[in-house]
Structure 1
Amino acid sequence: MPMQRIHAFVAATVLLAAGVQASKAAEAVPATLQPPAGYTLAFTAKAKGMQVYTSAAEGGAAPKWVLEAPVAELTARQGSFHHYAGPSWEAADGSKIVRDKDTPVVTVPARKAGTDIPWLLVKVTADPAAGVLSKIGYVQRIETHGGVAPATPPVRTDTKVGVPYTATYAFYAKTN
């Protein structure tokens, strides 16, 4: 087989394998986490950060870990993003999105629920400023690793702990 044909065959095989992998990844996201009709995937970003937990006790009960906020850095071809309490996402260009408090967050347990934080679909509202996040209406958190509160209960209240996690965030924009 001539060298050009071998290169073409290898390239086609790699592209086919990548397409199968992308298809498997897309199929792995449960239907309940899909945004409603009229939204399309704008971009995805990889996140690395912490889930911050605070120990709290109610009515004399033993202290337990309560999620305070995420703190993460996201990277994508569109740039870098900060993810923090709200939940909120802020781009380097100043655009920002925040959870729409009127719409419940859809939650699905991660494949390894004992160690990995749940997958989410979050309806968001955009800050009126123009920018990469200005058209985003939904954020999906998938492919999570880590981030679950410690299994050992806290000894006292008001203790904080950061648990490392990674995830993929998918940002969906309204179709025109």
Structure 2
Amino acid sequence: MITRLCPLRAAPPATLMGLAALAHAQALAPPEVPEAIKAPAGENVVFRAHATGAQIYVCGRGADGKSQWTLKAPDAELRDDQGALVGHHSAGPSWRHNDGSEVTGKAVARSESPDADSIPWLLVSATAHAGRGVLARVTSIQRINTVGGQPPPAKTCDPARHKGKEARVPYRADYYFYAAASH
């Protein structure tokens, strides 16, 4: 009797990355954070990423007519605990994973960073999703452990001479992504 073996097909890389991220998520515990930015009850950490990049500010006038730097967008690489590039953080705010999933959100709470020279810690609520993968069902995002990213001093912004000028301020942060617990 001859047995015919079917060749195994490899799973697409995006599927493998998504499965690896899900397996990794099982071991993630929520970080210790101020009460104001705790994730809602019933949500569990499904992914964690370390961001390195810049907060981009634009010179202009505030509602009060005074010179100020206004946040335009973040621009950061997202890396996993092993340092592998797993995605990108950009305007929206939006986070895109290499598995094709994406989440966009809106800040709903903040807590000042323990480091006064760093941007605040945030709790972000998801407002939109795209693709399938680890970020597809994210409901909340925390930005913590921030380093840098504060806007330049207002005196360095003269809208008469620099209106629209951009400043890229280096920053780092950890992002924790939460989803409703599965039953």
TM over 0.5: yes
SS at match of 2:115: coil
Match of 2:31 in 1: 26
Unpaired stretches in structure 2, ≥5 consecutive residues: 1-27
Partners of 1:51 and 1:168 lie apart in 2 by 14
Q: Offset at 1:44?
A: 1.2
Q: If the length of structure 2 is used for normalisation, what is the TM-score?
A: 0.74
Aligned to 1:155: 158
Q: d(CA) in 1 for partners of 2:86 and 2:65?
A: 41
Secondary structure at 1:86 match in 2: coil
Letter in 2 for 1:140: Q
Matches within 5 A, 1:55-94: 55-58=59-62, 61-76=65-80, 80-94=86-100
Give the % identical residues: 38
Among residues 162, 171, 174, which one is paired with 2:177 in the alignment? 171
1:28-54 CA-partner distances (Å, limit 9, x unpaired): x11121111110011211100100000
What is aligned with 2:53? 49
- Alpha carbons 1:126, 1:136 under 8 Å: kept: no
Corresponding position of 2:23:
none
Q: 1:36 aligns with which of 37, 40, 64?
A: 40
Give the partner amino acid of 1:48. T
Three-state SS of the structure 2 residue aligned to 1:71 is strand
Q: Calculate the aligned-residue CA RMSD, in Å.
A: 2.4
CA drift at 1:79: 5.7
C-alpha separation in 2, matches of 1:59 and 1:32: 27
Counterpart CA distance in 2 for 1:61 and 1:82 is: 34
Q: Is contact 1:125-1:136 (8 Å) kept?
A: no
CA contact (8 A) 1:79 1:91 kept: no
Aligned partners of 1:71 and 1:125: how far apart in 2? 19
Which is further off, 122-131 or 46-55? Answer: 122-131
- Work out whether residues 69 and 154 of structure 2, in 8 Å CA contact, stay in contact via their aligned partners in 1: no
